[in-house]
Structure 1
Amino acid sequence: MDSQKSKTKKTAAIGDIYAVILPNGEFGAIRILHKIDSSYLLATTPYIGTDIPSIENEILKEVLIQNRFFYDNDRALVWVDGKVPKDVIYIGNIPLSEKERKIKCHSFHEKWDNSTGIEAFLEWRWENDRENFEREIREEEERYKKFNTIQKPKKRMEDDSFWSIISLLNFNAECEEEIIEPAVDQLAKKSVRDIKQFEEALAYKLYLLDTKEHAKNIGKYSYDEKQNYFSADLFLYFRCSVLAKGKEFFESTLVNPKNMPKDGPFEPLLSIASDAYKRRTGKEFEYITGCDYESFSNVEGWK
């Protein structure tokens, strides 16, 4: 393993292939398809095996297709920020084809960490160990709901200021970073206290939407007590989409859950405060809101 780790490449380039260690001890592989500053578009390949694949392996040119739980033939693509993790292993570089250079992605995972590339293992479990996989997810969700308590927000940004920042989202932009950029730029010009109060207001509004009735109205991914699986993450991203549509839509949806969007989840909303804080201070945003916006946090809303 020492010789494998020595192959780690600190500076990443488009076309680079890295082996990742999966939870079962085997190896998966990811490939860089695009790069903007310190952000990378990563594709998880279908490779999974006991050995690190050679650069000649044709499967490294493929993108994993996901079908577990709520996925429906979705490609395993994600934008990440940060440096190459120490535990990934550089294999080599496969230059992109013209078609690959045109691939676009609107999914953002924040940090490039050791969980990146785990999708190959999760898809393997879906195909080969689905019953246990589904049971573990259900048990995890039940534990999460059990230990949550009623929460109270801290000092929040005034509504007019909050919604004026949200109104800056540019949905005519081509990528998620550009969509939120005007909002990030405006918030970064404010004080650190304002940034925290923006995050507090955002978390509280997402918390208010975290109810069983709202979860029952997000189309084919809706919550159903009889089904085996409900994606807490996807429900959060649908709630983000409600806020991204502005004050009037949020207020109408809050009182009428049937207004919940049926498509177009918008995860990048969660990055506005952290991006603004980093731009304002040069440091990572480490702030805990009074209300947790993660799904099932609103105990009263799920009774």
Structure 2
Amino acid sequence: MNEDVFWELMETCRPSNGDPEGDELAAALTARLASGPVFTVIGFAEQLSWALYRLDRKEYGDGLSGDQFLYTRAAVVAAGREEYESVLREPRRFAKYADGLVWAEVLLYVPDNAYARLTGEEWDRGTRYSYESYSNAAGWADA
């Protein structure tokens, strides 16, 4: 799955009610990915981790707890490609997600849940990029 397909899938599955927590988005993504094939679930996991990794930078997360920072980055991804790219260009836009009111933790579990539904097995695979907070060493290096 390339980046364009990832964002198209996110947009296709986005609920019309603008669910800020991402519960409905995650449910729709899980259902769609669980219809197979497995390589699509893996591709989604890779693109999701890459998107989160790119936001793992000091200018976004300085002063936030690890969990708060991770769930807030997930909320930015859940907001869609246009907003995500706006946040990458203008880090100050991240602040509206970091207030603790809009977190999308559930998005992180989409690959695991889709894989389990599709295969009947637990997801036991890493991704090329870690989405855990502070794992992007270059993003946290002092300039």
> 2:116 aligned to 278, 285, 292, which one?
278
Is contact 2:52-2:73 (8 Å) kept? Answer: yes
- Relative distance call for 1:211 and 1:276 in structure 2 (3 A) is same
Is contact 1:274-1:284 (8 Å) kept? Answer: yes
CA distance in 1, matches of 2:79, 2:92: 15
CA distance in 2, matches of 1:176, 1:282: 24
Is it true that 1:291 corresponds to 2:129 in the alignment? yes
CA distance in 1, matches of 2:42, 2:26: 17
User: Aligned residue for 1:158?
Assistant: 2
Is contact 2:23-2:104 (8 Å) kept? Answer: no
In the alignment, residue 247 of structure 1 is paired with which amino acid?
Answer: R
Equivalent runs, 1:40-119 vs 2, <5 Å: none
If you compute each CA radius of gyration, which structure gives the higher value, 1 or 2?
1
Unaligned runs of 5+ in 1: 1-156, 217-222, 224-229
In the alignment, residue 73 of structure 2 is paired with which amino acid?
Answer: R
Unaligned runs of 5+ in 2: none
CA distance in 2, matches of 1:255, 1:198: 23
Is contact 1:171-1:179 (8 Å) kept? Answer: no
User: How many Å apart are 1:179 and its aligned residue?
Assistant: 4.0
User: How many Å apart are 1:171 and its aligned residue?
Assistant: 6.8
CA RMSD of aligned residues (A): 1.8
- Relative distance call for 1:265 and 1:286 in structure 2 (3 A) is same
Per-residue deviation, residues 72-104 of structure 1 (Å, max 9, x unmatched): xxxxxxxxxxxxxxxxxxxxxxxxxxxxxxxxx
> 1:238 aligned to 62, 69, 72, which one?
72
Equivalent runs, 1:158-197 vs 2, <5 Å: 158-167=2-11, 168-170=13-15, 172=17, 177-197=23-43
Is contact 1:252-1:259 (8 Å) kept? Answer: yes
> 1:258 aligned to 92, 105, 118, which one?
92
Could you say which structure has the higher helix fraction?
Answer: 2
Is contact 1:207-1:298 (8 Å) kept? Answer: yes
CA distance in 2, matches of 1:186, 1:282: 16
* SS, match of residue 123 in structure 2: coil
In the alignment, residue 268 of structure 1 is paired with which amino acid?
Answer: V
User: How many Å apart are 1:178 and its aligned residue?
Assistant: 3.9
- Relative distance call for 1:177 and 1:267 in structure 2 (3 A) is same
Paired residue total: 134
User: Aligned residue for 1:248?
Assistant: 82
* SS, match of residue 135 in structure 2: coil
Is it true that 1:210 corresponds to 2:44 in the alignment? no
Per-residue deviation, residues 198-242 of structure 1 (Å, max 9, x unmatched): 1011001100100000114xxxxxx1xxxxxx4101100000000
Per-residue deviation, residues 223-269 of structure 1 (Å, max 9, x unmatched): 1xxxxxx4101100000000000001111111211111233011001
TM-score of the two chains, using structure 2 as the length reference: 0.85
CA distance in 1, matches of 2:16, 2:107: 12
TM-score of the two chains, using structure 1 as the length reference: 0.42
